[in-house]
């Protein structure tokens, strides 16, 4: 039964949602730009203990929780499986790994430039810090970002199999 | 873009875009865009328009041929 009492125009709602989405990307971009500026201007410690990092983490956490509550991860995983024949989680594992790689490079460069006195020392510091940071950041970040999509992918495969079983 | 006969049906029912919009609780612009095929309404809105114009779904809306 169609009920349209006190309902907003769907087209207007859709357009408003488009604006809100653009607004969200702008906020993320501004926070990231501010974080990079703080890093360049005041150094790593000031940058990473800033409110921008807290906001980025909070927004990402909220987004992840809402995605999970609405079942969006599973829906997107199913869409990927059906349309693109690709694994939904692969992108997120790789993205997390690349993020970890970025962090590792960043800390390694920082150590090499700010704390080394000779070229040989720079290379040593770079290699050591990069190696340690890679262990600390790459795998955990890859697992962190890819875990939810991987779980959703398994649920989506199960849903598709059940659907095929019914027909 | 899907095809529709909303405009013809609306004119047959002697309704303005504004009046039809008011009956189905959307804006006049939405009705206008539906009529020229620039906005694809959801099934709920399609059904509401059909009820307002006393037509069946396939009288007013049908997909474009592939």
Structure tokens at A75: 């829906």
Sort out which chain A residues have CB atoms less than 8 A from B25's CB and list them.
Answer: 4-5, 7, 9
Specify the pLDDT at position B65. 60
Instruction: Identify the domain containing residue B16 by its residue range.
Output: 3-55
Cβ–Cβ < 8 Å for A139, A100: yes
Structure tokens at A134: 């890679």
Look at residue B45 and tell me if it is in a domain: yes
End-to-end CA distance of chain B: 11
Question: What's the complex ipTM?
Answer: 0.71
Sort out which chain A residues have CB atoms less than 8 A from B47's CB and list them.
Answer: 2
Instruction: Identify the domain containing residue A124 by its residue range.
Output: 71-167
Sort out which chain A residues have CB atoms less than 8 A from B30's CB and list them.
Answer: 9-12
The structural domain count of chain A equals 2
Tell the burial category of A62 from Cβ atoms under 10 Å away from its Cβ (0-12, 13-18, 19+): exposed
Look at residue A38 and tell me if it is in a domain: yes
Which residue does chain A place closest to B23, by CA atoms?
A4
Specify the pLDDT at position A107. 87
Cross-chain Cβ contact B45/A12 below 8 Å: no
- Determine the Cα–Cα distance for residues A11 and A29; give it in Å rounded to an integer: 27
pLDDT tens per residue, range A8-31: 899 999 999 999 999 999 999 999
Query: What's the CATH code of the domain at B21?
Result: 1.10.260.40
To test the contact with chain B by mutation, choose from A1, A3, A6, A10 the residue with the greatest count of B C-beta atoms within 10 A, namely A10
pLDDT beyond 50 at A91: yes
* Sole residue written with tokens 């955990």: A140
Q: Are residue A124 and residue A137 in the same domain, yes or no?
A: yes
Look at residue A143 and tell me if it is in a domain: yes
Q: What is the pTM of this model?
A: 0.65
pLDDT beyond 60 at A146: yes
Q: Are residue A53 and residue A40 in the same domain, yes or no?
A: yes
pLDDT beyond 50 at A142: yes
- Determine the Cα–Cα distance for residues B33 and B26; give it in Å rounded to an integer: 11
Mean pLDDT value across chain A:
85
The structural domain count of chain B equals 1
- What contacts A44, CB < 8 A, 6 or more positions away? A106, A107, A110
Cβ–Cβ < 8 Å for A137, A100: yes
Which of the four pLDDT bands, split at 50, 70 and 90, describes residue B12? very high
Q: To which H or E segment does residue A28 belong? A: helix A10-42
């Amino acid at each position: 039964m169609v009920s349209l009492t006190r309902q907003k125009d769907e087209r207007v709602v859709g357009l408003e949602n488009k604006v809100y989405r653009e607004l969200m990307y702008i906020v993320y971009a501004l926070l990231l730009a501010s974080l990079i500026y703080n890093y360049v201007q005041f150094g790593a410690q000031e940058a990473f203990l800033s409110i921008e990092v807290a906001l980025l983490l909070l927004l990402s956490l909220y987004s992840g929780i809402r995605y999970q509550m609405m079942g969006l991860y599973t829906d997107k995983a199913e869409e990927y499986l059906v349309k693109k024949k690709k694994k939904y989680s692969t992108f997120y594992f790789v993205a997390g790994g690349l993020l970890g790689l970025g962090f590792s490079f960043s800390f390694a460069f920082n150590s090499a430039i700010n704390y080394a006195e000779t070229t040989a020392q720079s290379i040593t510091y770079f290699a050591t810090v990069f190696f340690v940071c890679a262990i600390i950041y790459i795998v955990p970040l890859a697992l962190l970002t890819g875990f939810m999509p991987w779980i959703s992918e398994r649920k989506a495969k199960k849903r598709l199999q059940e659907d095929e079983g019914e027909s | 873009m899907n095809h529709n006969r909303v405009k013809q049906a609306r004119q047959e029912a002697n309704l303005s875009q504004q009046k039809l919009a008011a009956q189905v609780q959307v804006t006049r612009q939405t009705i206008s865009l539906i009529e020229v095929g620039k906005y694809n309404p959801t099934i709920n809105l399609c059904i509401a328009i059909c009820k307002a114009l006393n037509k069946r779904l396939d009288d007013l809306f049908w997909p474009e041929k592939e």
